Structure 1
Amino acid sequence: MKKLVLLFIVVSLFGCQDQSDPGGSSNPFQDKVYLKGLMNAWYLWNDDLSDIDVNNYATQDEMLASLRVEQDKWSLIQDKAEYDAYYGSGQITNGEEGVHGIYMHYATAEDLYIRFSYPGSKAYEAGLRRGTKINKINGLTVSDANSDAINSSLGENLQGVENTFEITIPPVTKYVNGQKSEVSPARDTTITIAKEELIVKPVLLSEVIELPGGKKVGHLVFKSFIETAEEALANAFAEFKSKGVTELVLDLRYNGGGRVNIASQIAGFVAPSSAGGKELFKYQHNELQSSEHDESREIELMESNLDLQRIFIFSEGGTASSSELVINSLKPYMDVQLIGENTYGKPVGSYAFVNENNNAYIYSIISLRILNAAGEGNYFNGIPVDLQVNDDVMYNWADVNEPMLYQALYKIENGTYDNQVVASARMSQIDLEYKNKSFKKGEAKEEAFNTIMVLKK
Structure 2
Amino acid sequence: MKKILYLTIIVTAGFLAACKKSSKTPVDTLPTRINHDELNRIKDSVYLFTKEAYLWYDAIPDMATFNPHSFAASTDVGELTSEVDALSQYKINPATSKPYEYYPSDPGTAKYSFIDDGTVSGELGGTNGDYGFSVLYQEKTDLRIKYVYPGSAADKAGVKRGYQITKINSRTDIDYDNSNGPNLTYVVNAIFNSKAVNLTLRRPDNTTFDVSLNAGNYTINPVLTYKTIDLGNDKKVGYIVFNTFTVPDNAGPQLLKAFNQFTTDKITDLVVDLRYNGGGSVATAQYLDDLIVPTAKNGTEMFTEYYNDKLQNDIYPMLSKKYKIDKGDFAPANNRANFAKVGTLDISRVFFIITGSTASASELTINNLRPHMDVRYIGSTSYGKPVGFFAIDIGQFQLYVPEFETKNSAGVGGYYAGMTPGTTDYPGKIDDDDVTKDFGDTTEVLLNHAINYIKRGVYDVAGPKVQSLSKSTTMTADQKRQMTLKLDEHLFKGMVGKKNLVLKELPRK
**Structure 1 unmatched runs, 5+:** 94-98, 171-185
Residues 41 and 144 (structure 1), Cα distance of their counterparts in 2 relative to 1, 3 Å cut = closer
Q: In the alignment, what sits opposite 2:338?
A: 298
* Cα deviation, residue 158, structure 1: 5.3
Counterpart in 2 of 1:122?
Answer: 153
The letter for the 1-side match of 2:133 is I
Question: Which among 205, 213, 223 is matched to residue 225 of structure 2?
Answer: 205
Does residue 188 of the first structure (1) align with residue 199 of the second (2)? no
1:58-457 equivalences under 5 Å are 58=72, 59-68=79-88, 69=90, 70-72=99-101, 73-82=111-120, 84-91=121-128, 93=129, 99-108=130-139, 110-135=141-166, 147-148=183-184, 151=187, 159=195, 161=196, 163-168=198-203, 170=204, 186=205, 188-199=207-218, 200-227=220-247, 228-291=250-313, 292=328, 293=330, 294=332, 295-302=335-342, 304-355=343-394, 358=395, 360-385=396-421, 386-420=428-462, 421=465, 425=469, 428-431=472-475, 444-445=489-490, 447=491, 449-457=492-500
- Asked if the contact 1:44/1:286 (under 8 Å) is kept, the reply is yes
CA offset at residue 319 of structure 1?
1.4
Q: Report the Cα offset of residue 130 of structure 1.
A: 1.6
Task: Give the Cα–Cα distance (whole angstroms) in 1 for the partners of residues 293 and 52 of structure 2.
Answer: 36
Report Cα offsets for 1:271-306 as digits up to 9, x if no partner.
00111111111111111112431221111112x352
Residue 330 (structure 1) shift: 0.5
Q: Which deviates further from its counterpart, 132-141 or 36-45?
A: 132-141
Question: For this pair of structures, how many residues does the alignment match?
Answer: 426
Mean Cα deviation higher: 221-230 or 312-321? 221-230
Q: CA deviation at 1:14?
A: 7.3
Distance 1:166 1:318, change over 3 A: closer
Deviates more, 1:203-212 or 1:390-399: 203-212
Query: 1:203/1:21 Cα in 2 relative to 1: closer, same or farther (>3 Å)?
Result: farther
Letter in 2 for 1:256: G
Q: Percent identity?
A: 29
Shift of 1:47: 1.2
With the length of structure 1 as denominator, give the TM-score of the two structures: 0.81
Q: Does structure 1 conserve the Cα–Cα contact (< 8 Å) formed by 2:445 and 2:468?
A: no
CA offsets 1:184-240 (integer angstroms, 9 cap, x no match): xx4735243322215444222222222233533221111211223233223322332
CA deviation digits over 1:144-182, x for unaligned, max 9?
8974597399699655x46252421x3xxxxxxxxxxxx
Equivalent residue, structure 1, for 2:321: none
- 1:242 alignment partner, SS class: helix
- 1:4 corresponds in structure 2 to 14
Residues 123, 35 of structure 1: alpha-carbon distance in 2 compared, 3 angstrom cutoff: same
Change (3 A) 1:443 1:431: closer
Q: Provide the rounded CA distance (Å) in 2 between the counterparts of 1:351 and 1:341.
A: 29
Q: Give the Å deviation of 1:315.
A: 0.8
Corresponding position: 1:19 with 2:62? no
Report if the CA contact (8 A) 1:3-1:455 is conserved. no
Contact 1:349/1:370 (8 A) holds in 2? yes
Give 3-state SS (helix, strand or coil) of 1:165's partner.
strand
Output the amino acid matched with 1:100. Y
**1:167/1:246 Cα in 2 relative to 1: closer, same or farther (>3 Å)?**
same
2:42 is aligned, of 18, 31, 52, to 31
Counterpart CA distance in 1 for 2:117 and 2:344 is 37
The answer to whether the 8 A contact 1:346-1:380 is kept is yes
CA positional deviation for 1:404 = 0.8
Q: 209-218 or 403-412, which moves further after superposition?
A: 209-218
Structure 1 residues 25 and 273, CA, compared in 2 at 3 Å: closer, same or farther? Answer: farther
Residue 190 to residue 276, structure 1, CA distance change in 2 (3 Å): same
On the 8 A contact 2:136/2:144 being kept in 1, the answer is yes
> Does the CA contact (< 8 Å) of 1:203 and 1:233 recur in 2?
yes
- Offset of residue 441 of structure 1: 6.9
Match of 1:183 in 2: none
Deviation per CA, 1:344-398, whole angstroms, max 9, x where unpaired?
A: 222222122234xx3x333211111111111111111111212112111111112
Change (3 A) 1:419 1:110: same
Q: Which range moved further: 331-340 or 62-71?
A: 62-71
C-alpha separation in 1, matches of 2:24 and 2:217: 27
Instruction: Please list every run of 5 or more consecutive structure 2 residues that lacks an aligned counterpart in the other structure.
Output: 1-10, 73-78, 91-98, 102-110, 178-182, 314-327, 422-427, 501-509
Distance 1:428 1:187 in 2: 20
State whether residues 357 and 485 of structure 2, in contact with CA within 8 Å, keep that contact through their aligned partners in structure 1.
Answer: no
Distance 2:192 2:364 in 1: 37
Tell me if the contact between 1:268 and 1:300 (Cα under 8 Å) persists in the aligned partners: yes
| C-alpha spacing 1:345/1:150, structure 2 compared with 1 (3 Å) | closer
Match in the other structure for 2:506: none
1:109 and 1:261 map into 2 onto residues whose CA distance is: 38
Q: 8 Å contact 2:382–2:420 — kept in the other structure?
A: yes
Match of 2:55 among 28, 44, 62: 44
TM-score (norm 2): 0.73
Partner of 1:182: none
- How far off is 1:78 after superposition? 1.8
Stretch deviating more after TM superposition (433-442 or 210-219)? 433-442
In structure 2, C-alpha distance between the alignment counterparts of 1:202 and 1:382, rounded to whole Å: 23
Tell me by how many angstroms 1:341 deviates: 0.8
| Aligned residue in 2 for 1:181 | none
- Counterpart for residue 178 of structure 1: none
Aligned to 1:174: none
